[in-house]
Amino acid sequence: MTILWAFIIGGLICVAGQLLIDLTQLTPARILVIFVVAGCLLSGMGLYQWLVDLAGAGALVPLPGFGHVLAQGVKKAIDERGWIGIFTGGFAAMAGGVTVAIVFGYIAALVTKPSGSAAM
C-alpha cells in the first residue's frame, strides 16, 4: 500500500509543480524555492512527517522532502548542540544526499558526450 501512496503523493507534488509552471509567470527556480520552503514550513508545523509516514519516498524524494529533511536536521542539531545547530544541522542532514548527487553527476559527465547543439 505504501507504494501506491508514494505514487499518488509524489505524483500530486509533481502535478502541483507543473501547474505552477504552466499557469503562473514564476520561473522554475522560484518554484523550486517555494517547494523547499513549503517542506520546511510544513515540517516545522509537524504536518510533513505525517505525509512521509503515509507515502515514504513519494514524499521524501520531491523537493518538499528536501526541505523537510533540512528542517528535521536543524531540529535534531539544536537539541544536541544548542543554537549552533541552526547553522550546522541542515548541512549534516543533507550531506549524504548531496554527495551522491555530485558523485553520480560527475560520473554521468565522464561517460556521456554533449551533443553539438546543446553544448555552449
Residue 66 class from Cβ within 10 Å (0-12 exposed, 13-18 middle, 19+ buried)? buried
pLDDT at residue 54, rounded to an integer: 92
Confidence of residue 116 (pLDDT cuts 50, 70, 90): low
| Residue-wise pLDDT tens digits, 52-74 | 999 998 998 888 998 999 999 99
Instruction: Give the global pTM.
Output: 0.77
Confidence of residue 37 (pLDDT cuts 50, 70, 90): very high
Q: In which element (H, E) is residue 46 found?
A: none
Residue 114 class from Cβ within 10 Å (0-12 exposed, 13-18 middle, 19+ buried)? exposed
Torsion angle (degrees, nearest 10) of CA 33, 39, 45, 48? 170
